[in-house]
Each structure stands twice: as C-alpha cells, then as structure tokens.
C-alpha cells in the first residue's frame, strides 16, 4: 500500500475539473528530460483512456533516446508549431503543468499558458513552486513527477486504466530522475510502484537499454575526450568537466549527447560535487549542470553563482560569458563552499 502523499482535497478538486473537461493540454519544461516526457505521456495515456482530447506540448525538442516512448510522436514542439500550440493552449479546458516550478521554465510558451482561461494545475517535485496554478501539487520529497502522476491516477481510483504504454512512460520518468534508481531512491514505496508497473507488463530491463544503451560511437568518443580533459580539485572534493562549441563540432555533437556526463566524476572516490559547463549552441551562454552526493547543496551554489536552482543533488543554471570566465566563477564558488565540501557526512 502507498502512503497518501497528495492531499485528498486536491484530488477531489482535480477530479471535478476532469469530469467537466473535454480538452486537456499538458505542458512541461524546456529541454525536456525523461521525467518531463515520461510524466506528460503517462498522464496523456491516462486521459486518452478516459476519452479526453489531450495534447502534450513542450517548448523544444527532446533527446532521441526518449523517442521510442509510446505517444512521443504526438508530442508537439512549441518552437516548431507555435500557432497550432497557441490555439490548443487558448482553447483548453484544463492545462496540466508538469515537472517545473516556475513559469520561465516553459520559456516562450509561458505567456500563452498564463493568458489561457483554462483551469491550471501544477504537478511537480521541484522546491518553491510559483503561484500560477489554481491547484498546486508540489512534492519535493518525491523523486520524480512521473511517480506523482502514478500516485494521482491511483488515488483518483483509476489504477486499472493505466495501460502498458502509460506504465512504460511513468517507469521511464522514475528511472531517469533517479539515475536508474541510484540516487533519491531510498523511499521503499518506489519499489512498490515499480512492482505495480511490472504488473502492467512493462519490460524494465528493455526500457533501461533503450534509454541508456543506444548512443552513437561519436558520443562515446566525446565522453572519452571530455573525461580526459576533466579537472579534479582534491582539496575541495570536486571535479569539473566542460565542452565548448568548437569541441562539440569536432565530435559531431547532437542534442542529448552529453546527457549524463555530469554524473561520471562522482564515481571518483571522495568526489562529492561535479560540475559540467557546456557552451550553448543557440544562446550566447554556458549551461551549467551540477550534481552532488550526500548533503552538499548544489541548488544553493547554483542560485548564488549561476542564476539557477534545482534540487539538493541535481541543479543547474546559466552563465553569460566565456568558458574561461565560467571556470573562474566555478573556482570562486568552490572556495566559498569549501567548508561544506569538506564537511564529513
Ligand atoms: P540538468 O543538469 O539535468 O540540466 O538539470 C538538473 C536540474 O537542475 C533540473 O531538473 C532543474 O531542476 C535544475 N535546473 C537546470 N537548469 C536550471 C536553470 O537554469 N534554472 C533553474 N532554476 N534550475 C535549473
Ligand atoms: Mn523531474
């Protein structure tokens, strides 16, 4: 049995909305990851089973390793089909905002969502949700939005309507947001949910292979290169990797190729904090990814130095400047956080 995480009043409220709704739009964050697409499609399959007209819209493209997911071909990319997406958003009865806590995380879609007269619900697990939805289901203690979607559907009384396809999407989100159940994954109820998803006929081992073992040769060579250039800061228990635009060009980089790189330095003994700096190909900025193990607060450092945020162990931000300047700021941050980085436990 599962603990009742989501408040009953919110479940009742959302159920009432759905009873009267026909058109539902599901939106998720820019640079959609496994949990963004997994939770969105998990909810989409469920709404489809209830006879609703549902559409998933995300700001921009998602990585190839998620394209096997059932329903992913119908995910609408806002940067390609803005007009059509704007119409769906404006005409929706209900808009479900999944896996983001701040309206700026859906970038250009934000104004259309805010302007829509649709009833809005936020379902998310990031800290400090902004107040732009009538119903806010925000649970930072839950490791993925996909898990929240599972809990929501069950609490509404529709476990039996979760299809194998929907279960595959939910599992994918739970798996990717926990690094294959290697972090944020000590809640025993996660494994009860996995057991329930297996009862729907999903092949979890196959899902793992489809997500993690379908890379190109050039991606593996890029990984080798990036690691060969890695800088370790033994005095700070930290490591830094980076990737410039020029280097991306050398290795035929495509979006998603560096997914997961930031976790690798954490496999070094005594490294508790890892940073990945990647020069963006679209905007003149350096995208920052931060990961930690234990109690080191990546999100505090991201907010203080890189105009970002996120979770304790996984955060990110942006830096407008050169790679050299970004490295300098990172090293200043290391100095500032040295006491925490070197704290035992
Ligand atoms: P990633 O390193 O995978 O891009 O991001 C990890 C987590 O950091 C995301 O799930 C999100 O919570 C947070 N994050 C990433 N980039 C940003 C950003 O620019 N601003 C904020 N506030 N959070 C971010
Ligand atoms: Mn998530």
CA 129 centroid distance within chain: 15
Q: What is the pLDDT of residue 201?
A: 98
* Ligand lying nearest the CA atom of residue 172: 2
Residue of 315, 318, 319, 326 to test ligand 1 pocket, by largest number of atoms within 8 Å of CB: 315
DSSP line for 142-197: SS-HHHHHHHHHHHTT-GGG--HHHHHHHHHHHHHTTTTTTSS---HHHHHHHHHH
* Ligand lying nearest the CA atom of residue 37: 2
pTM of the complete model: 0.84
Task: Say if residues 71 and 166 touch (Cβ distance below 8 Å).
Answer: no
Q: What is the pLDDT of residue 256?
A: 78
Average pLDDT, the chain: 96
- What percentage of the chain has pLDDT greater than the value 70? 99
Given pLDDT bands bounded at 50, 70 and 90, which one contains residue 271?
very high
Q: What is the pLDDT of residue 183?
A: 86
C-alpha 145 – ligand 1 centre gap (Å): 14
Token representation of residue 273: 């904090």
Q: Which long-range contacts (CB under 8 A, 24 or more apart) does 263-269 make?
A: 263/179, 263/291, 264/223, 264/227, 265/230, 265/232, 265/239, 265/240, 265/241, 266/239, 266/291, 266/292, 266/293, 268/232, 268/239
Given pLDDT bands bounded at 50, 70 and 90, which one contains residue 285?
very high
Question: Which protein residues have their CB within 5 A of the ion that is ligand 2?
Answer: 35, 99, 145, 177
The string of pLDDT tens digits covering residues 243-261 is 999 999 999 998 778 988 9
CA-nearest residue, atom 16 of ligand 1: 316
CA-nearest residue, atom 18 of ligand 1: 317
* Ligand lying nearest the CA atom of residue 105: 1
Q: What is the pLDDT of residue 282?
A: 84
Sequence spans of domains, the chain: 8-212, 217-342
Token representation of residue 34: 């496994």
> Among the atoms of ligand 1, which is closest to the Cα of residue 177?
10
The string of pLDDT tens digits covering residues 211-223 is 999 888 999 999 9
Helix, strand, coil abundance in the chain, percent, nearest 5: 45, 15, 35
CATH for the stretch 8-212:
3.90.1640.10
The string of pLDDT tens digits covering residues 97-156 is 999 999 999 999 999 999 999 999 999 999 999 999 999 999 999 999 999 999 999 999
Residue of 106, 314, 318 to test ligand 1 pocket, by largest number of atoms within 8 Å of CB: 314
Class level of CATH domain 217-342: alpha beta
C-alpha to C-alpha distance for 21 and 13, rounded to whole angstroms: 12
Task: Tell me the average pLDDT across 26-45.
Answer: 98
Task: Say if residues 43 and 26 touch (Cβ distance below 8 Å).
Answer: yes
Q: What is the pLDDT of residue 215?
A: 83
C-alpha 35 – ligand 2 centre gap (Å): 5
CA-nearest residue, atom 3 of ligand 1: 289
Q: Which helix (H) or strand (E) holds 6?
A: none
* Ligand lying nearest the CA atom of residue 303: 1
Q: What is the pLDDT of residue 216?
A: 86
Ligand 1 pocket at CB < 6 A? 126, 262, 289, 308-311, 314-318
Q: What is the pLDDT of residue 1?
A: 82
Task: Tell me the average pLDDT across 28-42.
Answer: 97
C-alpha to C-alpha distance for 342 and 345, rounded to whole angstroms: 9
CA-nearest residue, atom 15 of ligand 1: 316
Task: Tell me the average pLDDT across 23-52.
Answer: 98
Other CB atoms within a 10 A radius of the CB of residue 279 amount to: 20
232, with CB counted inside 10 A (0-12, 13-18, 19+), is middle
> Among the atoms of ligand 1, which is closest to the Cα of residue 99?
10
Q: Is residue 345 scored above 60 in pLDDT?
A: no
Whether the complex's predicted ipTM is more than 0.90 is answered with yes
Q: What is the pLDDT of residue 157?
A: 98
């Amino acid at each position: 049995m599962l603990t009742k995480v989501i408040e009953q009043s919110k479940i009742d409220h959302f159920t009432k909305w759905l009873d009267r709704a026909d058109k539902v739009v599901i939106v998720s964050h820019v640079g959609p990851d496994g949990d963004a697409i997994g939770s969105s499609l998990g909810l989409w399959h469920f709404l489809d089973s209830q006879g609703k007209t549902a559409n998933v819209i995300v700001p921009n493209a998602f990585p190839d390793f998620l394209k096997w997911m059932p329903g992913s071909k119908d995910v609408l990319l806002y940067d390609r089909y803005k007009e059509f997406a704007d119409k769906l958003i404006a005409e929706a009865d209900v808009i479900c905002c999944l896996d983001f806590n701040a309206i700026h995380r859906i970038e250009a879609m934000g104004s259309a969502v805010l302007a829509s007269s649709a009833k809005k619900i936020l379902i998310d697990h990031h800290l400090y949700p902004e107040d732009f939805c009538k119903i806010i289901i925000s649970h930072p203690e839950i490791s993925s939005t996909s898990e929240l979607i599972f809990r929501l559907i069950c609490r509404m009384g529709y476990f039996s309507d979760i299809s194998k396809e929907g279960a595959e999407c939910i599992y994918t989100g739970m798996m990717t947001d926990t690094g294959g159940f290697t972090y944020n994954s000590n809640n025993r109820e996660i494994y009860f949910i996995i057991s329930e998803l297996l009862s729907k006929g999903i092949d979890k081992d196959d899902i793992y292979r489809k997500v993690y073992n379908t890379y190109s040769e050039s991606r593996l060579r890029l990984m080798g290169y990036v690691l060969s250039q890695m800088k370790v800061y033994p005095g700070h228990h930290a490591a830094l990797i980076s990737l410039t635009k020029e280097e991306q060009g050398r290795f035929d980089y495509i979006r998603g190729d560096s997914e997961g790189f930031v976790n690798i330095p954490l496999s070094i003994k005594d490294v508790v904090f890892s940073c990945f700096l990647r020069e963006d190909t679209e905007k003149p900025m350096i995208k920052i990814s931060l990961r930690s193990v234990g109690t080191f607060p990546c999100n505090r450092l991201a907010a203080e130095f890189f105009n970002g945020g996120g979770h304790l162990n996984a955060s990110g931000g942006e830096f407008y400047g050169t790679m050299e300047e970004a490295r300098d700021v990172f090293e200043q941050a290391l100095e500032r956080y040295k006491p925490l980085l070197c704290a035992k436990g």
